[in-house]
């Protein structure tokens, strides 16, 4: 006689656990890339993963000091000293008689540039589909986590406490900003 195997009861809890499992493994790959993007964005004001790029730009001669920064796309460009026609800046020099500007910037390596756009995508960017789907998947994972354990169990209760702690930590972070 063959033993009859019973199919699991396919209720909302079963579907939530099933989807949580499948989507969870898919999201691991997204989290790795998106997390790296977030770290890069956090340290964008440092020299982390950047290299020096030397620029030589021909500008109009005798430009006023106030126009150099916008023309070169450099923020807070302040002259350190002037010797004859040459104006010295922290980033480089500008020869007022010839209009030649030479300066150095710190820029990300080319392989990092795609990562920087993930956290700065707008609704007009093709990446907004990725970021929206990722956000929806994360919201689903957060909500479906409550179907992983039976209510009233120790694991479920500790999960609720950790959720509350996470919400409080996020609110504190928002208030400190």
Task: Please list the pLDDT of the chain residue by residue as tens digits (177 residues).
Answer: 566 667 778 888 889 989 999 998 888 888 888 889 889 989 989 999 999 999 999 999 999 988 999 999 998 889 999 999 999 999 999 999 999 999 999 999 999 988 887 778 889 988 888 888 888 999 999 999 888 888 999 989 999 999 999 999 999 999 997
Condensed to tens digits (0 to 9), the pLDDT of residues 99-136 reads 999 999 999 999 998 888 777 888 998 888 888 888 89
Q: Which two tokens stand for residue 19?
A: 């989807």
Q: Which residue matches tokens 């620029």? A: 55
> Alpha helix (H) ranges present in 78-126?
113-116
Q: What angle do CA 36, 42, 44 make, to 5 degrees?
A: 100
DSSP bridge partners of 44: none
d(CA 95, CA 87): 6
Give residue 30's pLDDT. 85
Task: Determine which helix (DSSP H) or strand (DSSP E) holds 30, and give its type and residue range.
Answer: helix 12-42
Q: In a 3-state reduction of DSSP, which class is residue 43?
A: coil
Nearest to 147 by CA among 137, 135, 138, 156: 156
Residue ranges of domains in the chain: 12-45+112-148, 50-108
User: pTM score > 0.85 for this model?
Assistant: no
Give residue 117's pLDDT. 77
DSSP bridge partners of 132: none
């Amino acid at each position: 006689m063959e033993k009859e195997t019973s199919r699991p009861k396919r209720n909302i809890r079963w579907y939530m656990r099933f989807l949580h499992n499948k989507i969870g493994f898919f999201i691991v790959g997204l989290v790795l890339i998106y997390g790296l993007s977030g770290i890069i964005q956090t340290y964008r004001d440092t020299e982390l993963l950047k290299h020096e790029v030397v620029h030589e730009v021909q500008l109009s001669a005798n430009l006023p000091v106030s126009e150099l920064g916008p023309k070169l796309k450099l923020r807070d460009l302040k002259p350190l000293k002037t010797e004859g026609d040459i104006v010295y800046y922290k980033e480089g020099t500008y020869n007022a008689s010839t209009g030649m500007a030479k300066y150095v910037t710190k820029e990300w390596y080319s392989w990092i540039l795609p990562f920087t756009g993930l956290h700065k995508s707008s609704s007009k960017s093709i990446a907004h589909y990725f970021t929206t789907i990722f956000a929806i998947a994360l919201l689903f994972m957060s909500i479906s986590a409550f179907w992983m354990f039976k209510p009233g169990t120790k694991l479920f209760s500790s999960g609720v406490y950790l959720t509350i702690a996470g919400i409080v930590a996020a609110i504190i972070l928002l208030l400190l900003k």
